[in-house]
Structure 1
Protein backbone atom coordinates (compact mmCIF):
# COMPACT_ATOMS: atom_id res chain seq x y z
CA UNK A 1 0.00 0.00 0.00
CA UNK A 2 1.47 3.42 -0.92
CA UNK A 3 2.70 5.54 1.99
CA UNK A 4 0.27 8.41 1.30
CA UNK A 5 -2.68 6.00 1.21
CA UNK A 6 -1.49 4.38 4.43
CA UNK A 7 -1.33 7.77 6.13
CA UNK A 8 -4.83 8.66 4.90
CA UNK A 9 -6.11 5.31 6.20
CA UNK A 10 -4.63 5.98 9.64
CA UNK A 11 -6.05 9.50 9.65
CA UNK A 12 -9.51 8.21 8.71
CA UNK A 13 -9.32 5.54 11.42
CA UNK A 14 -8.40 8.10 14.05
CA UNK A 15 -11.23 10.42 12.94
CA UNK A 16 -13.89 7.72 13.01
CA UNK A 17 -12.50 6.42 16.30
CA UNK A 18 -12.90 9.92 17.74
CA UNK A 19 -16.54 10.10 16.58
CA UNK A 20 -17.59 7.79 19.42
CA UNK A 21 -15.91 10.08 21.93
CA UNK A 22 -17.68 13.12 20.47
CA UNK A 23 -21.06 11.35 20.59
CA UNK A 24 -20.35 10.41 24.20
CA UNK A 25 -19.84 14.12 24.97
CA UNK A 26 -22.69 15.60 22.92
CA UNK A 27 -25.58 13.14 23.25
CA UNK A 28 -26.14 13.41 27.04
CA UNK A 29 -26.33 17.22 26.77
CA UNK A 30 -28.09 17.83 23.46
CA UNK A 31 -30.23 14.69 23.29
CA UNK A 32 -30.01 11.51 21.25
CA UNK A 33 -31.94 12.57 18.16
CA UNK A 34 -30.67 16.14 18.26
CA UNK A 35 -27.07 14.91 18.20
CA UNK A 36 -27.78 12.54 15.32
CA UNK A 37 -29.71 15.25 13.44
CA UNK A 38 -27.07 17.96 13.72
CA UNK A 39 -24.35 15.50 12.75
CA UNK A 40 -25.97 14.68 9.39
CA UNK A 41 -27.19 18.26 8.91
CA UNK A 42 -23.72 19.74 9.41
CA UNK A 43 -22.15 16.89 7.48
CA UNK A 44 -24.49 17.47 4.55
CA UNK A 45 -23.80 21.22 4.58
CA UNK A 46 -20.07 20.60 4.61
CA UNK A 47 -20.23 18.13 1.72
CA UNK A 48 -22.52 20.42 -0.29
CA UNK A 49 -20.09 23.31 0.18
CA UNK A 50 -17.17 21.14 -0.92
CA UNK A 51 -19.06 19.98 -4.02
CA UNK A 52 -19.83 23.57 -4.94
CA UNK A 53 -16.17 24.52 -4.59
CA UNK A 54 -15.23 21.55 -6.77
CA UNK A 55 -18.01 22.50 -9.20
CA UNK A 56 -19.50 19.03 -9.20
CA UNK A 57 -22.66 18.87 -11.33
CA UNK A 58 -25.69 17.91 -9.25
CA UNK A 59 -27.04 15.24 -11.57
CA UNK A 60 -28.41 12.27 -9.63
CA UNK A 61 -29.37 10.49 -12.87
CA UNK A 62 -32.80 9.51 -11.59
CA UNK A 63 -31.43 8.11 -8.32
CA UNK A 64 -32.37 11.00 -6.02
CA UNK A 65 -35.07 9.15 -4.08
CA UNK A 66 -32.93 6.02 -3.82
CA UNK A 67 -30.12 8.13 -2.36
CA UNK A 68 -32.47 9.60 0.25
CA UNK A 69 -33.76 6.15 1.25
CA UNK A 70 -30.25 4.76 1.49
CA UNK A 71 -29.41 7.71 3.73
CA UNK A 72 -32.02 6.67 6.28
CA UNK A 73 -30.36 3.24 6.49
CA UNK A 74 -26.73 4.30 6.17
CA UNK A 75 -26.75 7.37 8.43
CA UNK A 76 -30.10 8.24 9.98
CA UNK A 77 -30.83 5.05 11.91
CA UNK A 78 -27.20 4.12 12.72
CA UNK A 79 -26.25 7.55 14.04
CA UNK A 80 -29.35 7.58 16.24
CA UNK A 81 -28.52 4.09 17.53
CA UNK A 82 -24.93 5.04 18.35
CA UNK A 83 -26.14 8.17 20.14
CA UNK A 84 -28.49 5.99 22.20
CA UNK A 85 -25.56 3.70 23.02
CA UNK A 86 -23.47 6.73 24.02
CA UNK A 87 -25.87 7.25 26.94
CA UNK A 88 -24.79 3.90 28.42
CA UNK A 89 -21.49 2.71 26.93
CA UNK A 90 -17.92 4.00 27.01
CA UNK A 91 -16.69 5.26 23.64
CA UNK A 92 -14.28 2.34 23.32
CA UNK A 93 -17.12 -0.17 23.65
CA UNK A 94 -19.14 1.46 20.87
CA UNK A 95 -16.09 1.56 18.60
CA UNK A 96 -15.46 -2.14 19.09
CA UNK A 97 -19.10 -3.05 18.51
CA UNK A 98 -18.99 -1.03 15.29
CA UNK A 99 -16.33 -3.42 13.99
CA UNK A 100 -19.05 -6.09 13.84
CA UNK A 101 -20.32 -4.49 10.62
CA UNK A 102 -18.62 -6.94 8.22
CA UNK A 103 -19.71 -9.87 10.40
CA UNK A 104 -23.33 -8.80 10.20
CA UNK A 105 -22.87 -7.99 6.51
CA UNK A 106 -22.00 -11.64 5.89
CA UNK A 107 -25.10 -12.86 7.74
CA UNK A 108 -27.33 -10.29 6.00
CA UNK A 109 -25.90 -11.16 2.59
CA UNK A 110 -26.47 -14.87 3.08
CA UNK A 111 -29.96 -14.37 4.54
CA UNK A 112 -31.43 -11.75 2.20
CA UNK A 113 -29.18 -11.28 -0.86
CA UNK A 114 -28.15 -14.83 -1.86
CA UNK A 115 -24.51 -14.30 -0.92
CA UNK A 116 -22.42 -17.41 -0.30
CA UNK A 117 -21.77 -18.38 3.32
CA UNK A 118 -18.37 -20.07 3.07
CA UNK A 119 -16.65 -21.98 5.82
CA UNK A 120 -14.18 -19.15 6.46
CA UNK A 121 -16.97 -16.60 6.68
CA UNK A 122 -18.93 -18.78 9.10
CA UNK A 123 -15.85 -19.25 11.29
CA UNK A 124 -15.25 -15.51 11.11
CA UNK A 125 -18.79 -14.72 12.27
CA UNK A 126 -18.54 -17.15 15.18
CA UNK A 127 -15.11 -15.79 16.15
CA UNK A 128 -16.42 -12.24 16.05
CA UNK A 129 -19.36 -13.15 18.25
CA UNK A 130 -16.90 -14.62 20.76
CA UNK A 131 -15.03 -11.30 20.76
CA UNK A 132 -18.24 -9.39 21.46
CA UNK A 133 -19.14 -11.84 24.24
CA UNK A 134 -15.71 -11.42 25.87
CA UNK A 135 -16.11 -7.66 25.89
CA UNK A 136 -19.60 -7.86 27.37
CA UNK A 137 -18.82 -10.42 30.04
CA UNK A 138 -15.34 -9.40 31.19
CA UNK A 139 -15.02 -5.72 30.26
CA UNK A 140 -14.68 -2.87 32.78
CA UNK A 141 -18.43 -2.09 32.65
CA UNK A 142 -20.61 -4.35 34.77
CA UNK A 143 -22.98 -6.59 32.82
CA UNK A 144 -26.47 -5.17 33.35
CA UNK A 145 -29.57 -4.14 31.44
CA UNK A 146 -28.12 -0.79 30.36
CA UNK A 147 -24.96 -2.40 28.97
CA UNK A 148 -27.03 -4.93 27.04
CA UNK A 149 -29.33 -2.21 25.70
CA UNK A 150 -26.37 -0.13 24.53
CA UNK A 151 -24.73 -3.16 22.91
CA UNK A 152 -27.95 -4.02 21.04
CA UNK A 153 -28.19 -0.41 19.82
CA UNK A 154 -24.62 -0.61 18.45
CA UNK A 155 -25.31 -3.94 16.75
CA UNK A 156 -28.50 -2.53 15.22
CA UNK A 157 -26.42 0.34 13.78
CA UNK A 158 -23.87 -2.13 12.41
CA UNK A 159 -26.65 -4.18 10.84
CA UNK A 160 -27.89 -1.05 9.05
CA UNK A 161 -24.40 -0.49 7.66
CA UNK A 162 -24.41 -4.08 6.42
CA UNK A 163 -27.76 -3.61 4.67
CA UNK A 164 -26.63 -0.31 3.16
CA UNK A 165 -23.81 -1.90 1.20
CA UNK A 166 -26.18 -4.25 -0.59
CA UNK A 167 -28.73 -1.47 -1.19
CA UNK A 168 -26.04 0.66 -2.82
CA UNK A 169 -25.06 -2.28 -4.99
CA UNK A 170 -28.62 -3.09 -6.09
CA UNK A 171 -30.12 0.43 -6.24
CA UNK A 172 -27.13 2.47 -7.41
CA UNK A 173 -24.24 0.45 -8.84
CA UNK A 174 -26.42 -2.04 -10.72
CA UNK A 175 -28.50 0.84 -12.14
CA UNK A 176 -25.62 2.57 -13.89
CA UNK A 177 -23.75 4.00 -10.91
CA UNK A 178 -23.54 7.50 -9.44
CA UNK A 179 -20.77 9.91 -8.48
CA UNK A 180 -19.84 8.80 -4.94
CA UNK A 181 -19.68 12.44 -3.80
CA UNK A 182 -23.27 13.01 -4.89
CA UNK A 183 -24.33 9.80 -3.19
CA UNK A 184 -22.65 11.02 0.03
CA UNK A 185 -24.57 14.30 -0.08
CA UNK A 186 -27.84 12.59 -0.97
CA UNK A 187 -27.57 10.16 1.91
CA UNK A 188 -26.93 12.98 4.39
CA UNK A 189 -29.95 14.88 3.11
CA UNK A 190 -32.09 11.75 3.43
CA UNK A 191 -30.87 11.17 6.98
CA UNK A 192 -31.52 14.81 7.87
CA UNK A 193 -35.11 14.61 6.63
CA UNK A 194 -35.67 11.39 8.56
CA UNK A 195 -34.23 12.69 11.84
CA UNK A 196 -35.79 16.19 11.72
CA UNK A 197 -39.21 15.25 13.18
CA UNK A 198 -37.56 13.08 15.86
CA UNK A 199 -35.28 15.95 16.84
CA UNK A 200 -38.20 18.40 17.01
CA UNK A 201 -40.22 15.96 19.11
CA UNK A 202 -37.29 15.48 21.48
CA UNK A 203 -36.76 19.22 21.85
CA UNK A 204 -40.49 19.78 22.42
CA UNK A 205 -40.52 17.23 25.25
CA UNK A 206 -37.49 18.70 27.03
CA UNK A 207 -38.41 20.59 30.21
CA UNK A 208 -35.49 22.96 29.64
CA UNK A 209 -32.90 23.73 27.00
CA UNK A 210 -30.27 24.83 29.52
CA UNK A 211 -28.06 21.90 28.53
CA UNK A 212 -27.90 23.33 25.01
CA UNK A 213 -25.72 26.13 26.37
CA UNK A 214 -22.87 23.66 26.89
CA UNK A 215 -19.98 24.90 24.73
CA UNK A 216 -18.13 21.59 25.00
CA UNK A 217 -21.16 19.69 23.67
CA UNK A 218 -21.52 22.01 20.66
CA UNK A 219 -17.78 21.82 19.98
CA UNK A 220 -18.07 18.03 19.90
CA UNK A 221 -21.13 18.41 17.68
CA UNK A 222 -19.22 20.57 15.22
CA UNK A 223 -16.39 18.04 15.12
CA UNK A 224 -18.89 15.24 14.50
CA UNK A 225 -20.50 17.01 11.56
CA UNK A 226 -17.56 18.65 9.83
CA UNK A 227 -14.62 16.37 10.63
CA UNK A 228 -16.17 12.95 11.32
CA UNK A 229 -18.69 13.18 8.49
CA UNK A 230 -17.74 15.64 5.72
CA UNK A 231 -13.97 15.19 5.86
CA UNK A 232 -14.17 11.48 6.66
CA UNK A 233 -16.40 10.79 3.65
CA UNK A 234 -13.94 12.52 1.33
CA UNK A 235 -11.02 10.54 2.77
CA UNK A 236 -12.88 7.25 2.48
CA UNK A 237 -14.01 7.76 -1.11
CA UNK A 238 -10.49 8.85 -2.10
CA UNK A 239 -9.17 5.59 -0.62
CA UNK A 240 -11.82 3.70 -2.57
CA UNK A 241 -10.62 5.31 -5.80
CA UNK A 242 -6.93 4.63 -5.05
CA UNK A 243 -7.09 1.16 -3.49
CA UNK A 244 -10.29 -0.45 -4.71
CA UNK A 245 -13.21 -1.80 -2.65
CA UNK A 246 -11.40 -4.23 -0.31
CA UNK A 247 -8.29 -2.64 1.22
CA UNK A 248 -10.10 0.43 2.64
CA UNK A 249 -12.15 -1.99 4.77
CA UNK A 250 -9.07 -2.38 6.97
CA UNK A 251 -10.31 0.84 8.55
CA UNK A 252 -12.80 -1.41 10.36
CA UNK A 253 -9.92 -3.04 12.22
CA UNK A 254 -8.18 0.25 13.01
CA UNK A 255 -11.15 2.25 14.33
CA UNK A 256 -11.59 0.28 17.62
CA UNK A 257 -8.02 0.88 18.90
CA UNK A 258 -8.40 4.59 18.22
CA UNK A 259 -11.86 4.62 19.84
CA UNK A 260 -10.45 2.99 22.97
CA UNK A 261 -7.39 5.29 22.94
CA UNK A 262 -9.36 8.55 22.66
CA UNK A 263 -11.82 7.40 25.32
CA UNK A 264 -8.96 6.59 27.71
CA UNK A 265 -7.06 9.82 27.03
CA UNK A 266 -9.89 12.35 27.07
CA UNK A 267 -12.78 10.69 28.95
CA UNK A 268 -10.75 8.71 31.53
CA UNK A 269 -12.34 5.44 30.39
CA UNK A 270 -10.82 2.29 31.81
CA UNK A 271 -8.85 -0.05 29.53
CA UNK A 272 -8.59 -3.73 30.49
CA UNK A 273 -7.38 -7.00 29.02
CA UNK A 274 -10.92 -7.62 27.81
CA UNK A 275 -10.42 -4.87 25.22
CA UNK A 276 -7.31 -6.60 23.92
CA UNK A 277 -8.72 -10.14 23.91
CA UNK A 278 -12.05 -9.09 22.41
CA UNK A 279 -10.27 -6.89 19.86
CA UNK A 280 -7.94 -9.70 18.77
CA UNK A 281 -10.88 -12.09 18.29
CA UNK A 282 -12.80 -9.51 16.25
CA UNK A 283 -9.69 -8.64 14.19
CA UNK A 284 -9.19 -12.35 13.42
CA UNK A 285 -12.82 -12.60 12.37
CA UNK A 286 -12.46 -9.60 10.06
CA UNK A 287 -9.35 -11.05 8.46
CA UNK A 288 -11.20 -14.27 7.67
CA UNK A 289 -14.12 -12.35 6.18
CA UNK A 290 -12.39 -9.51 4.35
CA UNK A 291 -9.16 -11.08 3.13
CA UNK A 292 -9.36 -14.85 3.40
CA UNK A 293 -12.46 -14.88 1.18
CA UNK A 294 -14.06 -12.41 -1.26
CA UNK A 295 -15.44 -9.38 0.62
CA UNK A 296 -19.24 -9.22 1.07
CA UNK A 297 -19.34 -5.94 -0.86
CA UNK A 298 -20.19 -3.60 1.98
CA UNK A 299 -17.44 -1.13 1.26
CA UNK A 300 -19.67 1.97 1.51
CA UNK A 301 -21.09 1.08 4.88
CA UNK A 302 -18.33 1.65 7.40
CA UNK A 303 -18.96 5.23 8.70
CA UNK A 304 -19.75 5.22 12.62
Structure 2
Protein backbone atom coordinates (compact mmCIF):
# COMPACT_ATOMS: atom_id res chain seq x y z
CA UNK A 1 0.00 0.00 0.00
CA UNK A 2 1.14 3.55 -0.78
CA UNK A 3 1.38 6.43 1.67
CA UNK A 4 -1.65 8.03 0.00
CA UNK A 5 -3.67 4.85 0.69
CA UNK A 6 -2.80 4.99 4.40
CA UNK A 7 -3.66 8.70 4.47
CA UNK A 8 -7.06 8.07 2.90
CA UNK A 9 -7.75 5.23 5.35
CA UNK A 10 -6.95 7.49 8.31
CA UNK A 11 -9.08 10.37 7.02
CA UNK A 12 -11.95 7.99 6.31
CA UNK A 13 -11.69 6.58 9.84
CA UNK A 14 -11.91 10.06 11.37
CA UNK A 15 -14.97 10.92 9.27
CA UNK A 16 -16.79 7.64 9.89
CA UNK A 17 -15.87 7.80 13.58
CA UNK A 18 -17.75 11.11 13.72
CA UNK A 19 -20.77 9.48 12.03
CA UNK A 20 -21.50 7.48 15.20
CA UNK A 21 -21.53 10.72 17.17
CA UNK A 22 -23.92 12.34 14.70
CA UNK A 23 -26.25 9.33 14.86
CA UNK A 24 -26.31 9.55 18.66
CA UNK A 25 -27.49 13.16 18.24
CA UNK A 26 -30.08 12.63 15.49
CA UNK A 27 -31.71 9.30 16.33
CA UNK A 28 -33.25 10.28 19.71
CA UNK A 29 -34.86 13.31 18.03
CA UNK A 30 -35.86 12.09 14.57
CA UNK A 31 -35.97 8.31 15.03
CA UNK A 32 -33.90 5.52 13.46
CA UNK A 33 -35.70 5.20 10.11
CA UNK A 34 -35.94 8.95 9.52
CA UNK A 35 -32.29 9.50 10.43
CA UNK A 36 -31.14 6.71 8.11
CA UNK A 37 -33.24 7.98 5.21
CA UNK A 38 -32.16 11.61 5.62
CA UNK A 39 -28.54 10.47 5.72
CA UNK A 40 -28.74 8.66 2.39
CA UNK A 41 -30.91 11.40 0.87
CA UNK A 42 -28.38 14.12 1.71
CA UNK A 43 -25.67 11.73 0.57
CA UNK A 44 -27.44 11.49 -2.78
CA UNK A 45 -27.85 15.29 -2.97
CA UNK A 46 -24.23 15.89 -1.95
CA UNK A 47 -22.93 13.50 -4.59
CA UNK A 48 -25.16 15.11 -7.24
CA UNK A 49 -23.71 18.53 -6.38
CA UNK A 50 -20.15 17.16 -6.44
CA UNK A 51 -20.68 15.54 -9.85
CA UNK A 52 -22.19 18.73 -11.25
CA UNK A 53 -19.41 20.88 -9.82
CA UNK A 54 -16.77 18.61 -11.31
CA UNK A 55 -18.74 18.39 -14.57
CA UNK A 56 -18.44 14.63 -14.33
CA UNK A 57 -20.55 12.80 -16.93
CA UNK A 58 -22.98 10.42 -15.23
CA UNK A 59 -22.40 7.24 -17.21
CA UNK A 60 -22.92 3.89 -15.54
CA UNK A 61 -21.72 1.87 -18.56
CA UNK A 62 -24.36 -0.80 -18.02
CA UNK A 63 -23.65 -1.06 -14.27
CA UNK A 64 -26.51 1.04 -12.88
CA UNK A 65 -28.39 -2.01 -11.57
CA UNK A 66 -25.24 -3.20 -9.81
CA UNK A 67 -24.65 0.21 -8.21
CA UNK A 68 -28.31 0.48 -7.24
CA UNK A 69 -28.26 -2.93 -5.54
CA UNK A 70 -24.94 -2.23 -3.84
CA UNK A 71 -26.48 0.91 -2.35
CA UNK A 72 -29.27 -1.05 -0.70
CA UNK A 73 -26.75 -3.53 0.73
CA UNK A 74 -23.91 -1.12 1.56
CA UNK A 75 -25.92 1.91 2.74
CA UNK A 76 -29.65 1.34 3.13
CA UNK A 77 -29.72 -1.64 5.48
CA UNK A 78 -26.51 -0.85 7.46
CA UNK A 79 -27.50 2.75 8.14
CA UNK A 80 -30.86 1.65 9.54
CA UNK A 81 -29.12 -0.95 11.70
CA UNK A 82 -26.63 1.56 13.11
CA UNK A 83 -29.39 4.07 13.77
CA UNK A 84 -31.30 1.38 15.67
CA UNK A 85 -28.16 0.56 17.66
CA UNK A 86 -27.61 4.28 18.39
CA UNK A 87 -30.78 4.24 20.48
CA UNK A 88 -28.99 2.11 23.07
CA UNK A 89 -25.23 1.90 22.47
CA UNK A 90 -22.64 4.65 23.04
CA UNK A 91 -20.80 5.76 19.90
CA UNK A 92 -17.62 3.88 20.83
CA UNK A 93 -19.47 0.59 21.27
CA UNK A 94 -21.08 0.72 17.84
CA UNK A 95 -17.72 1.68 16.33
CA UNK A 96 -15.92 -1.28 17.90
CA UNK A 97 -18.62 -3.66 16.68
CA UNK A 98 -18.30 -1.96 13.30
CA UNK A 99 -14.64 -2.98 13.40
CA UNK A 100 -15.71 -6.62 13.05
CA UNK A 101 -16.30 -5.98 9.33
CA UNK A 102 -13.01 -7.69 8.33
CA UNK A 103 -14.01 -10.70 10.47
CA UNK A 104 -17.35 -10.84 8.73
CA UNK A 105 -15.52 -10.36 5.43
CA UNK A 106 -13.37 -13.40 6.16
CA UNK A 107 -16.34 -15.57 7.11
CA UNK A 108 -18.56 -14.46 4.24
CA UNK A 109 -15.68 -14.66 1.77
CA UNK A 110 -14.98 -18.23 2.89
CA UNK A 111 -18.65 -19.23 2.81
CA UNK A 112 -19.84 -17.59 -0.40
CA UNK A 113 -16.90 -16.25 -2.41
CA UNK A 114 -14.34 -19.09 -2.34
CA UNK A 115 -11.90 -17.11 -0.19
CA UNK A 116 -9.45 -19.22 1.83
CA UNK A 117 -9.21 -19.05 5.62
CA UNK A 118 -5.89 -19.87 7.25
CA UNK A 119 -5.56 -21.25 10.77
CA UNK A 120 -4.75 -17.78 12.11
CA UNK A 121 -7.86 -16.35 10.50
CA UNK A 122 -10.02 -19.06 12.04
CA UNK A 123 -8.46 -18.13 15.38
CA UNK A 124 -9.31 -14.51 14.62
CA UNK A 125 -12.95 -15.37 14.03
CA UNK A 126 -13.14 -17.20 17.37
CA UNK A 127 -11.36 -14.38 19.20
CA UNK A 128 -13.66 -11.84 17.57
CA UNK A 129 -16.71 -13.74 18.80
CA UNK A 130 -15.28 -13.79 22.33
CA UNK A 131 -14.57 -10.05 22.22
CA UNK A 132 -18.07 -9.27 20.98
CA UNK A 133 -19.59 -11.43 23.72
CA UNK A 134 -17.62 -9.54 26.37
CA UNK A 135 -18.57 -6.12 24.97
CA UNK A 136 -22.27 -7.00 24.80
CA UNK A 137 -22.21 -8.54 28.28
CA UNK A 138 -20.36 -5.89 30.27
CA UNK A 139 -21.15 -2.76 28.29
CA UNK A 140 -22.75 0.51 29.33
CA UNK A 141 -26.45 0.36 28.47
CA UNK A 142 -29.73 0.45 30.32
CA UNK A 143 -30.26 -3.30 30.09
CA UNK A 144 -28.72 -6.50 28.83
CA UNK A 145 -31.50 -6.75 26.25
CA UNK A 146 -30.54 -3.37 24.78
CA UNK A 147 -26.89 -4.41 24.59
CA UNK A 148 -27.72 -7.65 22.81
CA UNK A 149 -30.15 -6.12 20.33
CA UNK A 150 -27.82 -3.17 19.68
CA UNK A 151 -24.92 -5.54 19.14
CA UNK A 152 -26.92 -7.73 16.77
CA UNK A 153 -27.98 -4.68 14.75
CA UNK A 154 -24.32 -3.70 14.35
CA UNK A 155 -23.38 -7.23 13.25
CA UNK A 156 -26.11 -7.22 10.60
CA UNK A 157 -24.61 -3.96 9.32
CA UNK A 158 -21.06 -5.33 9.20
CA UNK A 159 -22.28 -8.42 7.36
CA UNK A 160 -23.82 -6.15 4.73
CA UNK A 161 -20.56 -4.22 4.42
CA UNK A 162 -18.63 -7.45 3.95
CA UNK A 163 -21.00 -8.75 1.29
CA UNK A 164 -20.97 -5.44 -0.60
CA UNK A 165 -17.18 -5.38 -0.63
CA UNK A 166 -17.00 -8.69 -2.49
CA UNK A 167 -19.93 -7.79 -4.75
CA UNK A 168 -18.24 -4.51 -5.67
CA UNK A 169 -15.20 -6.47 -6.77
CA UNK A 170 -17.33 -8.93 -8.80
CA UNK A 171 -19.87 -6.53 -10.29
CA UNK A 172 -17.76 -3.41 -10.76
CA UNK A 173 -14.00 -3.93 -10.60
CA UNK A 174 -13.91 -7.27 -12.41
CA UNK A 175 -16.27 -5.97 -15.10
CA UNK A 176 -14.06 -3.19 -16.40
CA UNK A 177 -14.35 -0.86 -13.41
CA UNK A 178 -16.26 2.40 -12.96
CA UNK A 179 -15.52 5.88 -11.64
CA UNK A 180 -15.85 5.65 -7.80
CA UNK A 181 -17.94 8.85 -7.80
CA UNK A 182 -20.46 7.21 -10.12
CA UNK A 183 -20.52 4.02 -8.03
CA UNK A 184 -21.15 6.07 -4.90
CA UNK A 185 -23.85 8.14 -6.63
CA UNK A 186 -25.67 5.07 -7.93
CA UNK A 187 -25.45 3.40 -4.55
CA UNK A 188 -27.12 6.34 -2.82
CA UNK A 189 -29.93 6.25 -5.38
CA UNK A 190 -30.50 2.62 -4.40
CA UNK A 191 -30.37 3.33 -0.66
CA UNK A 192 -32.68 6.35 -0.94
CA UNK A 193 -35.20 4.36 -2.98
CA UNK A 194 -35.13 1.52 -0.44
CA UNK A 195 -35.75 3.76 2.58
CA UNK A 196 -38.16 6.30 1.04
CA UNK A 197 -41.39 4.31 1.69
CA UNK A 198 -40.35 3.69 5.30
CA UNK A 199 -39.55 7.38 5.78
CA UNK A 200 -42.93 8.46 4.39
CA UNK A 201 -44.70 6.05 6.74
CA UNK A 202 -42.81 6.96 9.92
CA UNK A 203 -42.69 10.71 9.31
CA UNK A 204 -46.44 10.89 8.66
CA UNK A 205 -47.55 8.60 11.50
CA UNK A 206 -45.23 9.77 14.30
CA UNK A 207 -46.55 13.14 15.48
CA UNK A 208 -44.09 13.42 18.39
CA UNK A 209 -41.12 14.43 16.19
CA UNK A 210 -40.03 18.07 16.48
CA UNK A 211 -38.43 18.84 13.13
CA UNK A 212 -37.34 22.43 13.88
CA UNK A 213 -34.02 21.62 15.58
CA UNK A 214 -30.99 23.29 14.03
CA UNK A 215 -28.34 21.18 15.78
CA UNK A 216 -30.01 17.95 14.69
CA UNK A 217 -30.31 19.12 11.09
CA UNK A 218 -26.63 20.13 11.11
CA UNK A 219 -25.75 16.60 12.25
CA UNK A 220 -27.99 15.06 9.59
CA UNK A 221 -26.43 17.16 6.83
CA UNK A 222 -22.94 16.30 8.08
CA UNK A 223 -23.92 12.62 8.06
CA UNK A 224 -25.17 12.84 4.49
CA UNK A 225 -22.67 15.15 2.82
CA UNK A 226 -19.43 14.46 4.69
CA UNK A 227 -19.85 10.98 6.21
CA UNK A 228 -21.67 9.54 3.19
CA UNK A 229 -21.17 11.48 -0.07
CA UNK A 230 -17.51 12.42 0.38
CA UNK A 231 -16.60 9.32 2.38
CA UNK A 232 -18.03 6.83 -0.11
CA UNK A 233 -16.12 8.37 -2.98
CA UNK A 234 -12.94 7.69 -1.00
CA UNK A 235 -14.12 4.22 0.06
CA UNK A 236 -15.02 2.94 -3.39
CA UNK A 237 -11.74 4.34 -4.70
CA UNK A 238 -9.89 2.38 -2.02
CA UNK A 239 -11.71 -0.83 -2.97
CA UNK A 240 -10.60 -0.25 -6.56
CA UNK A 241 -6.99 0.49 -5.53
CA UNK A 242 -6.27 -1.91 -2.68
CA UNK A 243 -9.10 -4.47 -2.75
CA UNK A 244 -12.16 -5.13 -0.53
CA UNK A 245 -10.52 -6.83 2.45
CA UNK A 246 -7.83 -4.19 2.91
CA UNK A 247 -10.41 -1.45 2.45
CA UNK A 248 -12.49 -2.99 5.23
CA UNK A 249 -9.56 -2.42 7.61
CA UNK A 250 -10.70 1.20 7.87
CA UNK A 251 -13.16 -0.13 10.47
CA UNK A 252 -10.16 -1.02 12.65
CA UNK A 253 -9.19 2.66 12.79
CA UNK A 254 -12.68 4.06 13.43
CA UNK A 255 -13.20 3.16 17.15
CA UNK A 256 -10.49 5.49 18.59
CA UNK A 257 -12.03 8.42 16.73
CA UNK A 258 -15.60 7.45 17.70
CA UNK A 259 -14.62 7.08 21.35
CA UNK A 260 -12.84 10.44 21.25
CA UNK A 261 -15.77 12.29 19.63
CA UNK A 262 -18.26 10.63 22.00
CA UNK A 263 -16.19 11.54 25.06
CA UNK A 264 -15.53 15.13 24.01
CA UNK A 265 -19.03 15.99 22.76
CA UNK A 266 -21.41 13.68 24.67
CA UNK A 267 -19.27 12.85 27.72
CA UNK A 268 -19.77 9.13 27.09
CA UNK A 269 -18.07 6.75 29.50
CA UNK A 270 -16.59 3.33 28.82
CA UNK A 271 -16.43 0.28 31.09
CA UNK A 272 -13.56 -2.08 31.87
CA UNK A 273 -15.43 -4.88 30.10
CA UNK A 274 -15.66 -2.73 27.00
CA UNK A 275 -11.91 -2.03 27.07
CA UNK A 276 -11.06 -5.73 27.53
CA UNK A 277 -13.46 -6.85 24.81
CA UNK A 278 -12.19 -4.13 22.46
CA UNK A 279 -8.60 -5.30 22.89
CA UNK A 280 -9.63 -8.85 22.00
CA UNK A 281 -11.47 -7.59 18.92
CA UNK A 282 -8.40 -5.54 17.98
CA UNK A 283 -6.18 -8.65 18.11
CA UNK A 284 -8.73 -10.61 16.08
CA UNK A 285 -8.93 -7.94 13.38
CA UNK A 286 -5.13 -7.68 13.26
CA UNK A 287 -4.91 -11.44 12.63
CA UNK A 288 -7.26 -10.94 9.68
CA UNK A 289 -5.62 -7.91 8.10
CA UNK A 290 -1.92 -8.46 8.84
CA UNK A 291 0.25 -8.77 5.70
CA UNK A 292 0.58 -12.34 4.47
CA UNK A 293 4.01 -13.93 4.43
CA UNK A 294 5.61 -14.05 1.02
CA UNK A 295 5.46 -17.83 0.92
CA UNK A 296 1.77 -17.80 1.69
CA UNK A 297 1.18 -15.24 -1.06
CA UNK A 298 3.06 -17.33 -3.61
CA UNK A 299 1.13 -20.44 -2.56
CA UNK A 300 -2.18 -18.57 -2.87
CA UNK A 301 -1.28 -17.40 -6.36
CA UNK A 302 -0.34 -20.91 -7.45
CA UNK A 303 -3.51 -22.51 -6.10
Q: Same fold (TM over 0.5)?
A: yes
> TM-score of the superposition, structure 1-length normalised?
0.89
Alignment match, 2:163: 163
Aligned pairs for 1:215-234 (under 5 A) are 215-234=214-233
Please give the root-mean-square deviation of Cα atoms over the aligned residues, in Å.
2.1
Alignment match, 1:62: 62
Residue 58 (structure 1) shift:
1.3
The answer to whether the 8 Å contact 2:137/2:147 transfers is no
Residue 221 (structure 1) shift:
0.5
Alignment match, 2:256: 257
Change (3 A) 1:160 1:2: closer
Alignment match, 2:33: 33
Residue 237 (structure 1) shift:
4.6
The answer to whether the 8 Å contact 1:120/1:292 transfers is no
The answer to whether the 8 Å contact 1:136/1:143 transfers is no
Alignment match, 2:17: 17
Distance in structure 2 (CA, Å) of the matches to 1:106 and 1:67: 23
The answer to whether the 8 Å contact 1:18/1:262 transfers is yes
Q: What are the Cα deviations for residues 78-127 of structure 1, in whole angstroms up to 9, with x where unaligned?
A: 00110111111111111111011111111111222222222121111111
Q: What are the Cα deviations for residues 235-276 of structure 1, in whole angstroms up to 9, with x where unaligned?
A: 4355567x6336554422110111111111111211233333
The answer to whether the 8 Å contact 2:36/2:79 transfers is yes
Alignment match, 1:300: none
Distance in structure 2 (CA, Å) of the matches to 1:66 and 1:111: 21
Residue 202 (structure 1) shift:
0.6
Distance in structure 2 (CA, Å) of the matches to 1:42 and 1:137: 35
Alignment match, 2:287: 288
Distance in structure 2 (CA, Å) of the matches to 1:171 and 1:114: 16
Name the SS for the 1:121 alignment partner. helix
The answer to whether the 8 Å contact 1:67/1:186 transfers is yes
Aligned pairs for 1:66-85 (under 5 A) are 66-85=66-85
Structure 2 stretches of 5 or more lacking a match? 294-303
Alignment match, 2:140: 140
Change (3 A) 1:212 1:17: same
Change (3 A) 1:59 1:238: closer
Distance in structure 2 (CA, Å) of the matches to 1:9 and 1:17: 12
Change (3 A) 1:116 1:6: closer
Change (3 A) 1:23 1:199: same
Count of aligned pairs between the two proteins: 292
Alignment match, 2:129: 129
Name the SS for the 1:279 alignment partner. helix
Aligned pairs for 1:94-105 (under 5 A) are 94-105=94-105
Residue 172 (structure 1) shift:
1.9
Residue 142 (structure 1) shift:
5.5
The answer to whether the 8 Å contact 1:89/1:150 transfers is yes
Change (3 A) 1:66 1:240: closer
Residues 1:120 and 2:120 aligned together = yes
> TM-score of the superposition, structure 2-length normalised?
0.89
Structure 1 stretches of 5 or more lacking a match? 295-304
Q: What are the Cα deviations for residues 186-226 of structure 1, in whole angstroms up to 9, with x where unaligned?
A: 001100000000000111221244x2122221111011011
Distance in structure 1 (CA, Å) of the matches to 2:73 and 2:114: 20
Change (3 A) 1:204 1:69: same
Residue 174 (structure 1) shift:
2.5
The answer to whether the 8 Å contact 1:40/1:192 transfers is yes
Distance in structure 2 (CA, Å) of the matches to 1:234 and 1:121: 29
Distance in structure 1 (CA, Å) of the matches to 2:122 and 2:71: 29
Residue 164 (structure 1) shift:
0.6
